[in-house]
Amino acid sequence: MLLVVQLTPPGRGAVATLLVEGPGARDIVSAHFRAASGRALASYPPGRPVFGRFGPEPGEEVVVRAASEESVEVHGHGGHAAVARLTEILAEADCRQVDWRDWARDHHKDPITADAHIALAEARTELAAAILLDQYHGALRRAIDAIRALLETDQAAEAQHALETLLARAPLGLHLTTPWQVVLAGPPNVGKSSLINALVGYRRALVHPMPGTTRDVVTAATAVEGWPVELSDTAGLRAGGSAVEEAGIALAKERLAAADLAILVFDASHPWSERDRMLAETRPDALVVHNKWDLADGAGAERPPGLRTSAIRGDGIDELVAAIAHRLVPDPPSADAAVPFTASHVEALRFAAAALVQGGSSAAKLALGRMSRTR
């Protein structure tokens, strides 16, 4: 069966790449391709890029690369219409269009490798991509195979320890393609929006001295020491505001409850208050920031421990970035470390670990075997 797969992301772009794969792929492409040189596609060495036109006159300008008789890449303009036209011509030639994720799952014998291939397309940062690339090259599979070998030799305690090590990395792995949610909250007018702007390096949130300026959740995607993060600036937490502001506060509390990391921001230019104390006690796990420290009122001894910043002057921002990174990833993996990175990986590892606790090494081996079984 002949397949056509769009390897580049959908949407507008400079170049789109279609892969035609299957018996007779080169012949099918050749039937619709006219090389600018006038030569037949089969006359070129495998892998040689060839410029020409594809389809009925005048045709779409493309670069064709035939890796073999059964695998041909067609590189064309990246606009929707151009891609649709190329795909339509190939479909009329009995090429079945397949989503690239399904193609990747069928293309790789190892399901973990296929998962890594798919996840790499969703990586937001270079560091996340590097860790996923390690898994693509077999880091996680080797770890799973090693645990299975331990179980085969009745080394259950060692296998349990190895499973716990992998599960400890699960929160990191699951955030390689989905950013950590970091929410800034606190009373009105403490400088949350200014801190967001300082962290992302541009004016993402509106800043105004009037309390209650932020009434909706404003988000900004960024990288914190290489880790993908979505920062959320929320409405100031106070009572007695307008109905619109109260709705914003309710949304802020909802976002705060779901955060991977809460940052409570307080105004160091005002004395520490009972309201501040009560807010801090609601999230003892939060990272506390005393902003406007350059305007501190001198009553710092009453304040709980926290980072001292001045968003306007940039003081303490580097320390805040480092603290966020440490809270999210306290123990970064070494190069080539095994990291589970999908929900199904984590589920299988948890099942195996629970089975071992109950003495079920056979069930543990079965779960791990399903996770890494070659097709």
Task: Work out the mean pLDDT of the chain and round it to a whole number.
Answer: 89
Q: pLDDT (tens digit, 9 = 90+) per residue, 77-130? A: 988 899 999 999 999 999 999 999 999 999 898 999 999 999 999 999 999 999
Preceding omega of 271 cis (within 30 degrees of 0): no
* Alpha-carbon separation of residue 301 from 273, 274, 359 (angstroms): 13, 15, 54
The pTM of the full predicted model, rounded to 2 decimals, is: 0.83
Please report, for the chain, the start and end positions of each structural domain, with discontinuous segments joined by +: 3-98, 111-176+339-371, 180-328
Asked if residue 210 has pLDDT above 50, the reply is no
261-267/180-185 β-pairing: parallel
The alpha carbon of 255 is separated from its chain's Cα centroid by a whole number of angstroms, namely 19
Quote the CA–CA distance of 276 and 237 in Å, as a whole number.
10
In the CATH hierarchy, which fold is given to the domain comprising 3-98? Gyrase A; domain 2 (3.30.1360)
Q: pLDDT (tens digit, 9 = 90+) per residue, 223-245? A: 999 999 999 988 665 554 545 44
CATH number of 180-328: 3.40.50.300
CA torsion 85-87-92-96 (nearest 10°) is -170
Quote the CA–CA distance of 177 and 340 in Å, as a whole number.
12
Asked if residue 372 has pLDDT above 80, the reply is no
Specify the pLDDT at position 62: 96
Specify the pLDDT at position 13: 76
Asked if residue 29 has pLDDT above 90, the reply is yes
Q: pLDDT (tens digit, 9 = 90+) per residue, 168-198? A: 999 999 999 999 999 999 888 898 889 999 9
The residue among 218, 245, 246 whose CA lies nearest residue 232 is 218
